[in-house]
Amino acid sequence: MEFFFELFVNGLLTGTLYALVALGLVLVYKASEVLNFAQGAMVLIAGFMVAVLIYLGIPALAAVVLGAAVMIGMSFAVERLVLRPLVAQPIISLIMVTLGLGLFLEGVQTLASNIWPVYTIDIGIPRAPIDLGGMLILPVNVIGAVMAVILFGATGYVFLYTQTGRALRAISDDHEAALSVGVSIKRLWVIVWGAAGTIALVAGLIWGTRMSVGFSLSLLAFRAFAVVILGGLDSLVGAIVAGLLVGAAENLVAGYVDPIVGGGTKEFFPYLLMLIVLWVRPYGLFGREIIERV
Amino acid sequence: MINRECGVYKTTYQSDMAFFRVPLARSTIIVVLVLAAIVIPFVATDYWFGAIILPFVIFSIAAIGLNLLTGYCGQISLGHGAFIAVGGYTAAIAYIQGVPFLLSVFLGGLNSALIGLLFGIPSARIKGLYLAMATLAAQFALPWVISRVVPFLVPTGLAVAGGDTVYPPAIYIFGWQVETWLDRYFISLAFLVLLTIFSMNLMRSRVGRAWIAIRDHDVAASILGLDITHYKLLAFAISSFYAGIAGALLVFFYFRIAHVNEFDLGLSIRLLAMIIIGGLGSILGNFFGVAFILLLPIFLNRLLTTVGEAAGIYVSTGITSGVESLIFGTLIIIFLVVEPLGMAKLWENIKDYFRLWPFSY
């Protein structure tokens, strides 16, 4: 039973990070109906950037702030150069353009890592696991979970109680109606991409501390796609629930099934879970059903 | 295709649906085939065959398959890399077990079609981005299954390191050994020509029209009485059949080894890039897209090495791969921003300009 709880709790803690990356995806999707395939690369480049800044001798806090500033600056560029020209194009062109953006960012990272060979981030989080009544838990996971809760709280607050949040809910309901009452979609796009960039930065820091700042970060963030689909593409609550669900479930499956089948189930189990849920609920757990007419 | 349509008036439905819609099209295609079958073998060297021409031919097969599914039927698949793997492994294992070559390639396609059908089942209920992500499950689950199943199917000694790598032995077709790049090229070209003609004919048929209707508006299509689940599943099956054939040819002729890492998500994404850059729903665009995606990295690599040598700097592989990925990503973005409908549309624009040229008023 102790084994079960250790797997479960650690899974949930990982799940908060999935939920965090999923939050970035859901925000972008709600505002622009684009599924951002560059999110993984954004996580990678943000984490790497902070790692390099620290490596160059800039204090950790300043490095994080600087990193966030660059990610927000990037969101302006993305809105202006990539998204605006592609308004009202088919889904697949939008998928491809974010994939292109991802390749671009990964290229930048590969190039930069040839100049500054940095693979770890050290922002002063202790590495030794904490013993919690027999369970071993990494401090970085706890900090990640706390950050996730803070960011989710902040997003929820913005969505429910501010004018920007109202505008975001409006455009996710109906683009044209929102435009007609004077909501500026261009401004909101910059905001959501900036938010997604900041979220990617946090995720990059936490994951980068846990593992290393390398290509695997970008792949790990791919699992967040399973999370958003599972929760529903346009649901913030879905992102949280599905994130925790995927985190816990994959850890439990890996813990119990891996020894029998020889490992590797973690790589695809989230997608399998997603498939099963989609079979019952085609728009994810909390996604809004799209009603179509001819 | 590459011919001008002006001056051709169609008076019957038959002529409107004909395989060659313009008299000139027949001669154009004959010229292209002659180029491919007679001129290229004389001109190309082994390096050209191995690095450019053979992959171009084989990936064209896979891209046409994906285009049938995504470009014509409107269902996005991010799992084609895995379907290619299934075809490649099936064919290689069948051949090792003593099945004749052509039959094992066919078996590869067939098995891939079955697996594609399986992963296409969710398309009965979900669509759009949700479906695209559901096919991602195939991309992550299939390589795992392959690496667990393959060791049981291959005689020990042929599968190496971890059991998921298979070497196909020397290839004989009716006693004739396939050993040179030229042989491999001709066999792959034969497959490409057959499958291209099949796909073009398919698009002129009831099935093709149904697919296009589903792509354009699936609800309307189902109201018109089309069994859309049936046609979507058919699209998944046929599309992965193409992927399977391409996979078999890749394993037999190009990689000459079956290894799951070759068929990763990157391959699925490259295939999608080929058909989107080439032009969705265009067979001609396919070839443009495949050439673009395959040639660009080679070209960039050459360019970087040359520039590096000229400047007297040693360019490490890390830097080349970084710059490659960077420029590749940028070009994809620029391309989509400039012409979201791909190279096929660019080609149409050029043709439209010259249709009335030089009297364009």
- Per-residue pLDDT of B306-358, as tens digits, reads 888 888 777 777 788 888 888 888 888 888 888 878 888 888 888 888 777 77
pLDDT at B201: 92
Give the pLDDT band (50/70/90) at residue B233.
very high
Nearest to B329 among A90, A100, A229 (CB): A100
Contacting B residues, span 319-358, partner chain A, CB-CB under 8 Å:
319, 321-333, 336-337, 340
Residue of chain A with shortest Cα separation from B79: A271
Q: Are A210 and A140 in contact (CB under 8 A)?
A: yes
Does the CB of B269 have a partner CB in chain A at under 8 Å?
yes
DSSP letter string, chain A: -HHHHHHHHHHHHHHHHHHHHHHHHHHHHHHH----TTHHHHHHHHHHHHHHHHHTT--HHHHHHHHHHHHHHHHHHIIIIIIGGGTT--HHHHHHHHHHHHHHHHHHHHHHHHHS------SS---SPEEETTEEE-HHHHHHHHHHHHHHHHHHHHHHHSHHHHHHHHHHH-HHHHHHTT--HHHHHHHHHHHHHHHHHHHHHHHHHHS-SSHHHHHHTTHHHHHHHHH-TT-HHHHHHHHHHHHHHHHHHHHHHHHHHTS-GGGTHHHHHHHHHHHH-TTTTTPPPPP---
pLDDT value at B3 more than 80: no
The arithmetic mean of pLDDT across residues A233-261, rounded, is 89
- Per-residue pLDDT of B164-177, as tens digits, reads 778 777 888 888 88
CA A243, A249, A255, A259 dihedral sign is negative
pLDDT value at A245 more than 90: yes
Nearest to B125 among A92, A100, A279 (CB): A279
- Per-residue pLDDT of B204-226, as tens digits, reads 899 999 999 999 988 999 999 99
Q: Compute how many other C-beta atoms are within 10 angstroms of the C-beta atom of residue A30.
A: 20
pLDDT value at B2 more than 60: no
Residue of chain A with shortest Cα separation from B330: A104
First to last CA, chain B: 24
Give the pLDDT band (50/70/90) at residue A223.
confident
pLDDT value at A139 more than 90: no
Closest-CA distance, A105 to chain B, in angstroms, reads 7
pLDDT at B16: 79
Do the Cβ atoms of B76 and A91 come within 8 Å?
yes
Q: Are B277 and B154 in contact (CB under 8 A)?
A: no
Give the pLDDT band (50/70/90) at residue B82.
very high
B355/A247: higher pLDDT: A247
For chain A, which residues make up each domain, given as ranges? 10-221
Do the Cβ atoms of A96 and B336 come within 8 Å?
yes
Letter string b/e over residues B102-133, b meaning 16 or more CB atoms within 10 A of that residue's CB: eebbbbbbbbbbebbbebbebbebbbbbbbbb
pLDDT value at B178 more than 70: yes
B333/B6: higher pLDDT: B333
The arithmetic mean of pLDDT across residues A61-88, rounded, is 88
ipTM strictly over 0.90?
A: no
Contacting A residues, span 167-226, partner chain B, CB-CB under 8 Å:
219, 222, 225-226
Chain A interface disruption, residue of B314, B336, B339, most A CBs within 10 A? B336
pLDDT value at B162 more than 90: no
Lowest mean pLDDT of A189-203, B6-20, B48-62, name the range: B6-20
pLDDT at B5: 65
Does the CB of B148 have a partner CB in chain A at under 8 Å?
yes
Do the Cβ atoms of B337 and A267 come within 8 Å?
no
Closest-CA distance, B117 to chain A, in angstroms, reads 15
Residue of chain B with shortest Cα separation from A262: B148
What percent of chain B has a predicted confidence (pLDDT) above 90?
Answer: 34
pLDDT at B308: 81
pLDDT value at B160 more than 70: no
pLDDT at B189: 93
pLDDT value at A26 more than 60: yes
Do the Cβ atoms of B333 and A107 come within 8 Å?
no
Contacting A residues, span 218-247, partner chain B, CB-CB under 8 Å:
219, 222, 225-226, 229, 233
Helix, coil or strand: residue B146:
helix
